[in-house]
Amino acid sequence: MSAEKTNQSWGGRFSEPVDAFVARFTASVDFDKRLYRHDIMGSIAHATMLEQAGVLSLAERDAIIDGLTQIQAEIEAGQFDWRVDLEDVHMNIEARLTDRIGITGKKLHTGRSRNDQVATDIRLWLRDEIDVIIKEITRLQEGLLAQAEQHAEVIMPGFTHLQTAQPVSFGHHLLAWFEMLSRDHERLVDCRKRVNRMPLGSAALAGTTYPIQREITCRLLGFEAIGGNSLDGVSDRDFAIEFCAAASLAMMHLSRFSEELVLWTSAQFNFIELPDRFCTGSSIMPQKKNPDVPELVRGKSGRVFGALTGLLTLMKGQPLAYNKDNQEDKEPLFDAADTLRDSLRAFADMVPALKPRIEVMREAARRGFSTATDLADYLVRRGLPFRDCHEIVGHAVKYGVATGKDLAEMSLDELRQFSDQIGEDVFAVLTLEGSVNARDHIGGTAPAQVRAAVARGKALLAAR
């Protein structure tokens, strides 16, 4: 077999074909073909720059751009023959371009390498993925704001250690998730800035002798900056690791949210109802309604955490510059982006359809001595030290456990056996509404503050 047929991109150096298994083992086309649109985008910009730099003629540029445009149409019509022997998305497209337009197709690769080409493709792809993910975060936040506004006065127990702590507004609870997602949005917007730096022009590792004008391709591709060092340009995968770190935090938040939804839909809590379309049943137990979407999102968080760990491990031992190890960057990165995007989409569809069981939530808050802190605060306002008040209320709670009475259900005489500072006005602070309304400050759970937080949230989303 001639050397040329062993591989169209580098066969001249070799005197025998690559082993069939090795060819399959080292090929990446099965997964990197999803970069085709960004590969073609980068190639069109590169050809445009080469013509302006005088490396290609106008006719050669036009032939290349027309050929690439037709190849993209072939791929999107499902008519493209992806070949493993051509290794990757880049060589498959270049080989097809040469088939279409002849020797001019071989001129496209002038002044670049697959090393800077793939680094550029991944950044272009990830930039688009971040934009989609950011939109899904915003859509989920819109759903949370709508629910919070509607249920600003619905009372539920707030928990610490999964034990009833203090009553809170259901709307206030939902806005905690809004805050987490706002931080996720900030991280991804910031991450995008470092993704959006152009490595194209770094060539294999040292730059190129051709008179390229990187400013042109930077502008055409919408990058914000040009990579300042060719060695770093081809070997850097910080941006992918950073994205997976931001994605891991976002999935951690969704996993925590999922855990609450799983608890809240159980018969033991029964706080909310999920629509049937987000649940499944059991093949053997006809009564079951399983919260599969939250459970799956909770489980899928591990995939994204694994992608982050995998990419860190991939990069930690690599010397400069490009190494074949970096072929392993794409699958975990692709999977992390897909998983985060789909998880956000599922939640953005599901959250507006959540239905709180208002009376169940209220009864749960009433049962757990959730206004105990309010009684302690009441006594502090009567001039007693907080630690003494804490002990007094602790005795009152012990009495309530023994008698089966919540604090608000005790008579004034019963309460006064623990402190003669307790007066008839105490019952105003022992009600659930009194407790919630009393926390009337920025970030507090009072319905007025929930509505104010919703207004701030809407303004934040409108400014994006």
Using the Cα atoms of residue 116, residue 122, residue 123 and residue 125 in order, give the sign of their dihedral. Answer: positive
- Catalytic one of 2, 28, 230, 282: 282
Chain length of the chain: 464
**CA–CA separation, 204 and 321 (whole Å):** 9
Query: Is 161 noted as a catalytic residue in this protein?
Result: yes
- Per residue in 400-435, is it b (16+ CB within 10 Å) or e — as a string? beeeeebbbebeeebbeebbeebeeebeebbbbebb
Query: Is 282 noted as a catalytic residue in this protein?
Result: yes
Residue 167 forms beta bridges with which residues?
157
- Catalytic one of 161, 283, 411, 441: 161
Question: Hey, is 411 helix, strand or coil?
Answer: coil
**CA–CA separation, 115 and 321 (whole Å):** 9
**CA–CA separation, 265 and 447 (whole Å):** 24
**CA–CA separation, 454 and 192 (whole Å):** 27
Pairing of strands 197-198, 225-226: parallel
Asked if 44 contacts 66 with a C-beta cutoff of 8 angstroms, the reply is no
**CA–CA separation, 262 and 401 (whole Å):** 29
Residues that are catalytic:
161, 282
